[in-house]
Every structure is written in C-alpha cells, then in structure tokens.
Structure 1
Amino acid sequence: MNILEELMNERWISKYRERDKYYRIKDEISEIRPFLVEKLGYRIISNSSLVKLEKLPGEALPWMGIREFKDISDYALFCVILMFLEDKEAEEQFVLSQLSEYITGNYPEGEMPWTVFSNRQRLVRVMKFCMKNDLFVMDDGNGDQFAADLETEALYENTGLSRYFTRIFTRDISTNKTVSDFFQSEWLDMNEDRGVIRRQRVYRKLLLSLGLYRENGQDEDFNYVKNYRSVIENDLEQLIDASLQVYKSSAYLILGETGDLGKIFPARNSLSDAVLLLHGEIRCLVEAGELKTGVNERIALPLIKLEDIIRTTRTKYGSGFSKAFREMPDHEFIKTLLEEMEDLDFLRIDPVTEEAEIMPVAGKLSGRYPERYLGQLSEEENSNENQ
C-alpha cells in the first residue's frame, strides 16, 4: 500500500499506535503534497502526535458517516464527549462517573437519564468508537458493563488526539443549516476561480465516491472529466494502481490488482455474492424490457418492487447461499441487502417517497452461477421438496 492509499484509508496515522508508519509517512508526504493541495484542496495535519489528511467529499451522500452510530443522538453524545476531552491534557486520567456526570449536565436535549437502559447502551457504543480511534484508552475496569450495571466504574486515559478529530473551520459555522452550506463556506474565498473549485470537486468525487455521475445535460463536473480525461488519468496513475473509465453518463476509478483504496467490492463473503446475483437478476429484467433505464442510465422503481426482486433472487439462488443467509428471515435478508447496496452507493432510496434508484455501477458489477451449478441447485431444491 502506498502513502496516498494509507492516508485515504485511515482517519489518521498516530505515533501512539503505528510508530514506524507514522515516521515513514512524515518523511514521504512531501512527495504527494502538491497533488493533495492543488488537485484535492486538502489540508494536511502533521505534528508530534499524528499525520492526518482532512478528507472532504466532493458531494455528501447518505452512506457517508460513522457506521457504528445508530442515530443522530449518537452523534450528539459523541460531540459532548469531545467537549469533555477538550479540557483534558494528554495522558490525563478520568473515571467513567466523571464523564457520565459531565454528559448529564451538557447533553443538548437536557438531562440524560442513565437509569434508562438504552441511554447507557448508547454511551457504551459511542465510547467503543472513541477507543477504537484512540481518543482515549482504558487503564482499568470494564466500561462495557455500564450498560448492564449503572454502578460500573472504569479508569481511562486521554491520548490528546480528540482535538484533531473534527475539522478546523476558518469561518463561523453557527449559521449553517444544511450540508450544502458547509460546501459553500469551504470555497467562499475561491468563487472568482470556479475552475479550481470544479477541479478539486471532481478529483474528490473520483477518489471518495464509487462513481461520478452526470446529473443533467450541462453537468460541469462530468464535462470536466470528459474534457480533461487524459490529465486526470495521468495524475492518478502516477500515485495509485487504477484506471479511469468514462461512459455516457458516468465515470469510475477502477483499481488494479495492487490497488487498495477504500472498501473493496466484491469481498469474499456471501453478502457480496448475494448482491452480485441481485444485480444479475436486475440486468436480466432490463434486457427483457421489464425494467427501464432513464436517460441518466439509472433505474427508478418503487422500493416495494425492488424488495420483490430480492425475494425472487433469493428463491432462485438461495440454495447456494451460506447457512446464515439460508436461515435468515425474509425481511432481515431484504434489509441486509438494501443496507449493503446503499452503503456502497449501488442504490439510493428516498425515505419520503419510498422510491429506489439503482445506480449505473450496478450494471457493471453483476454475477451469476454457472449453468452446471444452477442444475445442482435445482436438484437440491426438488430433493428438499420431496422430503
């Protein structure tokens, strides 16, 4: 894995956890700094504790966020914990009761009643995320027991890294109301040079999103890719093993055999197999004329219809799934596939209208069982029915 891939894949490289990698990246980061600053517009934090690339997306998508968090209250609780740590010095110790008392007094929706099991469970979940990211470490005790026992105590030590977790804003953001407000404030000083803004947005989309899509006939980002394809390709191929593929209404950065950037699909698991088979079933429906692609090469359909297609896929190929997937209830199987497809941006769902939009990349990544294997599955299904 090269230095760009390591910085893109990790939240940060801390001396606390990865000392050798930390020093190597500090020594080598000057080689890619011009690309990071000019083409991506990214800020690099490099100090005695860590090296961090402040990665910002070219567009905000529903799947972006902290996967461990269940709802918005987890984010609110996490912000209060960051406030608590802000007043602590590096290596300063604190106990769980100190943190819980601080949260009770500062949680934005008023008092946080720890007698409620779901609140204690939420705190344990958020603290696990904090420790996973080295914001603090446990010195003694077991904080996980707090969910079951309100009297649980544990000793922690602040690492000092929490102050680098959130992005540093150069402007007052208190008036920002939407995600787009943050994007506008970031490029406020560059409005006179829209070419730079567009370039940075395009490179960010290619590196951080699964695909870059034409949103309308005059989409300036997609037109930039078409007009400067060779330049973009040359920039990226010098840094990572990848190739740029451009189609009628979409563009993709396809990793080579040695490329290691972000989450790789398909993974070697049954979930990826099920998603590939579902994509294959969708392609068959398109070829048969039962599903239509729009001018943007996307497929729009009611969510309830997509759920029926998932059921059909499971009925057709279910005998070849893992035991866990074979025994999983229908509603849970559908929920699992939909969440995975949304997480990978194969699918976008409007929660208000309950309309689903299958993205063009789903047509590029599909799978099927060999005919010989399908015959074996049919024999097994008939045998099970006879029994």
Structure 2
Amino acid sequence: MATGALRRASKRARNAEQLAERKRACIHALLNRPWVAKEDDADLYFTIKDHYEELRNWLMDKAGFPLIVTRTIAKLDKTPVKAYPWMGFAEFRDKRDYIFFTYGLWYLEGKTELDQFLLSDIVEEIREQMVAEGIEADWANYYDRLAMARALKKLRSLGVLHNVDGDESGWAQDAERNALYECSPNARYVLRRFPRDLTGCSRLEELEDPIPYASTQEGQSMRLRHRVYRRLLLEPVVADRQWDEDDLNYVLWQRRALIDQLEKMLGWVGRRYREGLLFFHPELTGESDLFPTLSAASDLALLAAGEIRSRLSEDSGLHTEANGMIRLTRSELEAIFYQLQEKYKVFWSKELREFSSQELAELCMKHLLEWGLGEQEGEAAFLISPMLGRWQAEYGNTDLERE
C-alpha cells in the first residue's frame, strides 16, 4: 500500500512539473514571438488556449500585458518601458522601411480575409495616401522601391500577407513587374492596442502605458509593479542605477517575490548582486537569445572581460567608478583587442583574424550595447558594466591529435 501511494505521489509530482513546463513554454513563446499561430505551432497554440485564464491573469496582474487569443493566433501585447534599437526589425535598413510597413498595415485594414490584390494596387494606394498626408513616395526611385519591398517581405514573414503569384523582389528591380497577394486575418493584430485615442496624444511618453491606470494609490501601485515586471521580462539586464527611484525601491523590497514569481512562471534563476538583481535562464538554449551567444562577438566580450579583470588586479591604471562601471577610452579598448588577437588568433576564424583592433573593438562594443552590458560615453569613452564580470571564459585544449 505504501509503495503504491509513493508511486502515485511521484506520478502526480511528475505530471505537475510537466504541466508547469508546458505553461513556461507558453509564456516564453508569447514573450519572444510576434504571436503563436495555430497553423505553424498547433500544439503550443492549443496549450495556450487550454490555460488561457491562468496565463492571462498572471500576465495582466504582473505586467499589464493583454493576452489575445483568436481562432488563428495567440498574441501577447507587449509594451516596453524603454525602447532600444535591438527591439526593431533587424531586416530594416532605414526609417522609411517602417513608414512603408505601417502604411502596408493601413492598406490591409481595409481588406477582408482571403481578399486578393495586385502589388501595383497596394503601392499606388499607399503612395496616394502618403502624398495626401504630405509624405513623399516615388516608386520610380529605386531606393523607395527597395524600402517598400523590405516592408512587404516583413509583412509576408509575419504571415499577415501571402504571396499567391510572384513577390516584391522582382518589382524592387523593375517597377513594371507585378505580383499577386492575399490578405490574412492576422493583419489587424500586428500593432498593439493603445489604451487611449492616439489623436489626443501630443508626446510619445503618453503611449508608454499598456493599459489605463487610475490616479488612486492602488492604480499607481499597479502601474509601478507593471513597470518593474515589464523591464525584467523584456530587457536582458537592468542594473540598480538604471531604475527610477520608485522602481528601485520596489525591486529592493519585493526582491523575494520577484525571484519566486519569475522562477515559477518562466523557470528563471534570480540572484541579487551588488550591481543589481539578475535573472539567468537555466538551460543552454531557449525561445529567446541568451548571453553569451554563439557569435564571435560574445567570445570577444568574454575574453575582454577576463583581460579587464586581470588589469584591474594588476593596478594597471584601470579602476572602477563609484557605480561599479569601468571607463575605457577607445585607444585602451583597441589595445586590449590587439593583445587578445595576438594571444588567441589561433582559435579565431579567418575573418576575425583579419579584423583590425579597431574593428574588433567596434564589434564588441555594439554587442555589449545590445545586451545592456556597456554604454557609450561620448565619442571617446566606453563604459563596461560590472555585470559582464559575472562571466569568465577561456579556450580549452583543442589538441585532438594527442593520445
């Protein structure tokens, strides 16, 4: 009897953990994908639908993110507290790409599911609307066509526009070319829902809140909680010095609750360090990009971290600021990468070996900026976050011929 009871208890525990893992997979997918489409990932879509109430309630209560589930997609309306360049579309090269993308959505708003139309109809109607609003668009201009083609390609990759015959690449090269498209029912869900009429807003800051908040103490407490969770969920790292005073007080006082909630719902491991509260993904891979990445830029960042740590201990002139940051001039950073290249180039790819120390420094700085582990200070200096010092790496023995 006792053995049977233990076996049943063990089975219930396994089932409970498997259920928790499925819910975590749902939240990770909702946070990192534009949406979960039933057509592309039916299992995950139906898991979200099965646990809709629990997921919706947690995401709304903690972050103010509305969860939308339709007959074709499950989407989390994500609103960042702070916008960063890496939050944009990597495929876009120019601000006009975003302008044409938005007008593409405007055009699709007037279509119904399975409506078909020619590329020439889309671009002409968009051009007329833009000109009426005082914005120039000239399809005889090759670069305007390229920007429009990138916008249409992104709409297709999101699944809100389907190509039936041909695509925009031919038109980008020759304005006389054409293509046939079909509208998806998901077009109206690309843009987030705003809590107020946009025509009544005069400043970008008025669009920061994902939902309306009451001016009462309870309403402002909810807004504070949502701000903290939104940043922790959407940003790689947030150091203490990067929080507003009220937000930091919440992080300090609610540290245990934050760690427990994010571990329960996302599986993250939270640790409190001198520089801030950090969260780590316990697995080597996941829905989101994880630092360090598999890119050469991450290798450079980790090697640089080790070299900087050594120089700090050797009293080489480097020192930490009061907030823990390490200030390096461009020439100091380039000197570090020159030394690293001489020491480790045998492990590097041919492309990386041929980089100048300036190019290596630029690659690393850009990578650290994207991950919140560095900051540009004017033209001449770069600040290294103390959080980078939490990682250490070195090349292992690759002598495979040794017995």
Q: TM-score, normalised by structure 2?
A: 0.82
Structure 1 counterpart SS, 2:187: helix
Deviation at 1:13, TM superposition (A): 1.0
Q: Structure 1 pair 322/111, CA: closer, same or farther in 2 (3 Å)? A: same
Check whether the contact 2:64–2:210 (CA below 8 A) recurs between aligned residues.
no
Amino acid at match of 1:318: K
Which residue of structure 1 aligns with residue 347 of structure 2? 320
Check whether the contact 1:57–1:204 (CA below 8 A) recurs between aligned residues.
yes
Deviations 1:268-295 (Å, cap 9, x if unpaired)?
A: 3433222221222233333334333222
**Is 2:385 aligned against 1:367?**
no
Aligned residue-pair number? 372
Which residue of structure 1 aligns with residue 269 of structure 2? 243
For residues 27-46 of structure 1, what are the structure 2 equivalents within 5 Å?
27-46=50-69
Check whether the contact 2:153–2:168 (CA below 8 A) recurs between aligned residues.
no
**Is 2:155 aligned against 1:130?**
yes
- Structure 1 unaligned regions, length at least 5: 377-387
Check whether the contact 1:140–1:155 (CA below 8 A) recurs between aligned residues.
yes
Separation in structure 2 between the aligned mates of residue 367 and residue 97 of structure 1, nearest angstrom: 54
Structure 2 counterpart SS, 1:189: coil
Deviations 1:313-370 (Å, cap 9, x if unpaired)?
A: 33432332112322346655444333322222222335x6564332232222342335
Deviation at 1:35, TM superposition (A): 1.4
Which residue of structure 2 aligns with residue 233 of structure 1? 259
Separation in structure 2 between the aligned mates of residue 334 and residue 41 of structure 1, nearest angstrom: 39
Q: Structure 1 pair 74/191, CA: closer, same or farther in 2 (3 Å)? A: farther
Once structures 1 and 2 are overlaid, which stretch shifts more, 131-140 or 250-259? 250-259
Once structures 1 and 2 are overlaid, which stretch shifts more, 284-293 or 11-20? 284-293
**Is 2:103 aligned against 1:80?**
yes
The match for 1:341 among 357, 362, 368 is 368
Structure 2 counterpart SS, 1:245: strand
The alignment-based identity, stated in percent, is 28
Check whether the contact 1:207–1:253 (CA below 8 A) recurs between aligned residues.
no
Check whether the contact 1:240–1:259 (CA below 8 A) recurs between aligned residues.
no
Which residue of structure 2 aligns with residue 381 of structure 1? none
Once structures 1 and 2 are overlaid, which stretch shifts more, 300-309 or 100-109? 300-309
Check whether the contact 1:14–1:50 (CA below 8 A) recurs between aligned residues.
yes
Separation in structure 2 between the aligned mates of residue 129 and residue 292 of structure 1, nearest angstrom: 46
Structure 2 counterpart SS, 1:369: coil
In the TM superposition, structure 1's runs of 4+ consecutive aligned residues that sit over 6 Å from their partners are none
Which residue of structure 2 aligns with residue 17 of structure 1? 40
Deviation at 1:12, TM superposition (A): 0.7
Separation in structure 2 between the aligned mates of residue 33 and residue 186 of structure 1, nearest angstrom: 14
Which residue of structure 2 aligns with residue 162 of structure 1? 187
Check whether the contact 1:63–1:342 (CA below 8 A) recurs between aligned residues.
no
Structure 2 counterpart SS, 1:215: helix
Larger radius of gyration, structure 1 or 2? 2
Separation in structure 1 between the aligned mates of residue 366 and residue 121 of structure 2, nearest angstrom: 37
Q: Structure 1 pair 264/230, CA: closer, same or farther in 2 (3 Å)? A: same
**Is 2:174 aligned against 1:149?**
yes
Deviations 1:52-103 (Å, cap 9, x if unpaired)?
A: 1111224333432222222322211111111111111111111111122123
- Structure 2 unaligned regions, length at least 5: 1-21
Deviation at 1:20, TM superposition (A): 3.3
Amino acid at match of 2:121: Q
Amino acid at match of 2:169: D
**Is 2:125 aligned against 1:102?**
yes
Instruction: Please report the RMSD computed on the Cα atoms of aligned residues, expressed in angstroms.
Output: 2.8
